[in-house]
Every structure is written in structure tokens, then in C-alpha cells.
Amino acid sequence: NEEESVFRPSFHFTPKNNWMNDPNGMFYLNGTYHLYFQYYPEDIVWGPMHWGHATSKDMIVWEEQPIALKPDEKGYIFSGSAVVDSKNTSGFSEDGKTTVIAMYTYHDPKREKQGEKDYQSQAIAYSLDEGFNWTKYRKNPVIPNPGIQDFRDPKVIRDTINDQWLMVLATRDRSYFYSSQNLKDWEKISEFGETTGAHNGVWECPDFFPMKVKGSDEIKWVLIQSLNPGGYNGGSGTQYFVGDFDGTIFTPEEYMQNLDEKHSFWLDFGKDNYAGVTWSNIPQKDGRSLFIGWMSNWLYAQEVPTEKWRSTMTIARELELKKMDEKYRILSKPVRELNKYRTVIFAENKLNTGKTYTYSSEEEDLMNNEFSLNLPLDEINKLEFILSNSQNDSLKFGLNRIDHQFYINRKKSGITDFNEKFTQKTSTAPRISKSDTLKVHFILDKTSIEIFYDDGATVMSEIFFPNEPYTRFTISSNANLTIEEFEINRIELD
Ligand code: FRU
């Protein structure tokens, strides 16, 4: 089956069949990472939402599980989160069993059709078998709709600093914060965002959590905030804010209090990383902020040329918070669990070439590979990377050093005619790092590229659909190249 071999990723999560969007309810417990997702099990386009489910020991190899939550008379099951209630604050536990609580949005299609505004509310469900079977709380909703049309995507954390359950909810043009002691009774404590950040769309799928600043003991709070449309390169995108939280009010850093639409605080500047959030209940001794996103964009997600399934998650990523030029930045990198699946197929310490260099492979394509290279920039002003095949498909990306911009151009990447918005705009991203050496690290998996420049200071993730696998990798520049620490790895799951 051509679709399976050419389009289905080999080490990223996709549902076996049908439609998927946002990641939901991610938690870790007893060695297992759980991932739920917006799922419509009857078609390859969006429909009445369920929570699909998958489990993994390492966030790389996923096993799809039976559907976790199905729509009912109160509505569809929209995005949300899950936490482990180890002290049984909710009182749902029986026989000392560990309780997992999921909080999600009910979307009532009947009230929506009737033209009412109040069709989204927040609800909970609990699981006493570590996330496989769920019971919906009979007193749902726990937060009724206050008359706001976009009122969804609750993300709960255990806030150990302020000893509370803390929830952030997206409400059209801002986020609401809520506090609870038992996960059933919620009190709204503050709001944020009306006057800062990108607003050319609806705010959705927030996440809010503390992070340690790299290389210090300082703690800052991070609000991840997706919006659609209005993303940096059009359609869906995910911005973030960094600041302090006193248990009630989030105060962003001063330079984040009046950000305009084109600000530079985006988790990923590519078109295809949306609605991503972090795992809950990661043991404190691990301490990582672990993230996954939906690798598509509402501009064209429902038309991409896969036939049995639609959409892929990003590679699981570790987020870091780092102060760069007096500003806090979120850096991302693939989780270290991926290392185990790498095999080096090419390694060079120093390659002095002319203005172009090509690596090509006759026997094996480059479609489940990871590339990393360091490029001293010296005289280089333009740097382009090209992945191509014998059908003249090519995916181009690179750096325009004069204007400090990275870009991805997928105009000729393969099948693109399913939606004109797919290629309408070359994606760009600011280069955050000022280093004289460019570090490039990217992962290819059949239909996606995830580029982590400068140790993850600028990230770009995009999807594409080549007519046949890419077999050539070319680097082209205005000046002679010195390529240092150039490594190509193959990534294979077994
Ligand atoms: C984001 C989103 C969420 C919503 C879900 C519905 O992609 O629109 O706001 O809960 O998808 O599937």
C-alpha cells in the first residue's frame, strides 16, 4: 500500500484510522506515558469528538488503545487535560486505588445549532485503572458556561508551590485561571491576555506551569497559548508568555506586556505544530517539561492527501527556559528517549567544500533520518538546504542572514494541490541566537520536518507530501562552506 509506505510516519504517532487533532489529557504514571487525542472514529475529517488514547514507555513507540471518552447527551468531548489525584482530594478513589482525573470541555452541538452562545462547559471524569476506563462525574458540568461563546480546553496542574489545583482555560481573547482543592469545585481567580500577544483568532488550548531557568535556581511561570487563526505564518500557531505567578495573578515580564501580532515568542514558527501542551505528573526528580503538539494546521488539515488516517503528532519534545539577551525564551529539543533508536549512517568532523555540497543515497531514502550539523557562518549570508528526489520534488529551507530570518518553502515539495493555502506563503522565523556558528538539527519522518536551530532557540515544523521519498540533501551557499560535526542518523523503531 503506497500510502502506508510513503506517507505514514515511522516513529511519530498517528491513529491507525480516521481523524485526529489536538493532544489531550497527557499524564505519566508508573512507567507509562498516556496520550489522548481529539478523535473522530468514523471519518478522516473532523466530527463529533471523542478522546482517542495511546500509551508509551518512552514517548516514541506508541500503542493505540481503545477510545477513552465518547460523546453523550451533554455533547462532544473537546480538548482537556488529566492529572493524577494521588491524595484522593476528589474523593473518587475506592479501595485505595490511584485516581486519575480528566477535565474536558463539553461542546453541545444542539445548543450551538439553536444559536445559543453557552454551548461549551467544563466537565470531569475519573479513572481507577490508570487511564483506560473512565467514569464521567454525574454532576457535570463542574464549570457551567457564563455566557461566553469560546470557553474551552481546561488544562489542570498540581500547583505544589501554592498547594492548589490550578486550571487555565481559553476564553476567546484571553485565559482564565481557576483554583480548586478537590477538582470538583472551581473558583475563578484571575484573567490574562486581553491586551498582549497575537489576537487575530480565538485563543485555544492553553497550558500554564512553572519552569526552572536554565543554569540558575530561578523559577518562572510559562503560559503556552495556541490561537487559530493568527499564527505567526498564518492559520494555527502557538505563542507563549513568561512571568511570575503569586498563586492568583500571572504577571508577565515587562517586555511581554504589550506584544503585537508579530512578536517573537512562539514555541514553533512552522505552520504545523498546534494545540500542544505538556505531560502532567512527571516525577520531580526527572523535572522535565515534556511537550507534544498536533502536527497540522486548521488551514488545510482536513484535506491533506492521506486516505485512511489524518494527522500526526510532533516528536515529543523537552522544553527549556533560557535567558538569552535579557529575555526568557523557550527552547525545544526532541526528548532524549529518541537517542536509543538512532544509527549513525554518516559522520564527518570537518568538510571543506565549495559553495554547494550534496549528500545522496542510492540505496536508502532519507525519510526517517535525523541530521545534525554545525556551520561556521563567516562569509555566509545565504544558506539553503534542499531535500529532493528524482521527480523534481524539493523541500527548501534555510537562513537569510542579512535579515536574520529562517524560512521553509514547500511550494515544490510534492503533492500540494489539495488546498492553495498549503503553499501560499513561505514560512519565516526570526533567528533568536546571535551565534557565529549555526547549529542545525532536523528530523524527517516521511511527511514531516522538524527543524531545531541553535539548540532549539528557533523551531520550525512543517508537513509535506512528496511524490516519492527524498534521496538527496544539498547545502548551498553564497560562500565556501565548512561543515563541522556533520552527522546523519537513521531512526528505526525495531
Ligand atoms: C483546537 C480545538 C480546541 C477544541 C478542539 C475541538 O484545535 O479547536 O479548541 O477543544 O480543537 O476538536
Degrees (nearest 5) of the Cα angle 389, 392, 398?
75
Dist. CA 181–CA 165, nearest whole Å: 6
Q: Which uninterrupted H or E stretch holds 110?
A: helix 109-113
What are the pocket residues of ligand 1 if the criterion is a CB atom closer than 6 Å to any ligand atom? 21-22, 38, 49, 78-79, 105, 152-153, 204-205, 275
- Four-CA torsion 78, 53, 188, 163, nearest 10 degrees: 180
Q: Which uninterrupted H or E stretch holds 276?
A: strand 274-278
Q: Name the DSSP letter for residue 157.
A: E
Contact 223, 206 (CB under 8 A): yes
- 245 Cβ neighbours under 8 A, 6+ residues apart: 162, 208, 210, 221, 251
Contact 275, 24 (CB under 8 A): no
Mutate to test the pocket of ligand 1, among 19, 24, 36, 38 (most ligand atoms within 8 A of CB): 38
C-alpha cell, 392: 523534481
Q: What is 338-491's CATH superfamily?
A: Exo-inulinase; domain 1 (2.60.120.560)
What is the position in ligand 1's atom list of the atom closest to the CA of 298? 7
Pairing of strands 274-278, 32-40: unpaired
C-alpha cell, 477: 551557499
- 205 alpha carbon – ligand 1 mean position (Å): 7
DSSP-assigned beta bridge partners for residue 206:
225
User: Distances in Å between the alpha carbon of 418 and those of 46, 69, 312?
Assistant: 17, 32, 18
- 38 alpha carbon – ligand 1 mean position (Å): 8
DSSP-assigned beta bridge partners for residue 400:
382, 405
Mutate to test the pocket of ligand 1, among 105, 204, 300 (most ligand atoms within 8 A of CB): 204
> Above 0.95 for ipTM, yes or no?
yes
Q: Is 22 a catalytic residue?
A: yes
First to last CA, the chain: 21
- 268 alpha carbon – ligand 1 mean position (Å): 18
Degrees (nearest 5) of the Cα angle 208, 23, 278?
30
Contact 362, 471 (CB under 8 A): yes
Dist. CA 198–CA 449, nearest whole Å: 25
- Four-CA torsion 173, 405, 269, 394, nearest 10 degrees: 140
Residue 314 pLDDT? 99
C-alpha torsion sign, points 57, 63, 65, 69: positive
What is the position in ligand 1's atom list of the atom closest to the CA of 204? 9
Residues of each domain in the chain carrying CATH 2.115.10.20: 2-334
Dist. CA 252–CA 384, nearest whole Å: 36
Cell 529562517 -> residue: 406
CATH class of 2-334: mainly beta
Dist. CA 285–CA 188, nearest whole Å: 31
Residue 1 pLDDT? 65
pTM for this prediction: 0.98
Exposed/middle/buried for residue 484 (C-beta within 10 Å: 0-12, 13-18, 19+): middle
- From the list 373, 430, 425, the residue with the least C-alpha distance to 401 is 430
Contact 165, 158 (CB under 8 A): yes
C-alpha cell, 17: 484510522
Residues of each domain in the chain carrying CATH 2.60.120.560: 338-491
- Identify the segments of the chain with pLDDT beneath 70: 1-2
User: Distances in Å between the alpha carbon of 246 and those of 213, 221, 243, 401?
Assistant: 17, 10, 10, 41
What is the position in ligand 1's atom list of the atom closest to the CA of 80? 10
- 490 Cβ neighbours under 8 A, 6+ residues apart: 342, 343, 345, 364, 368, 369
The amino acid at 243: G
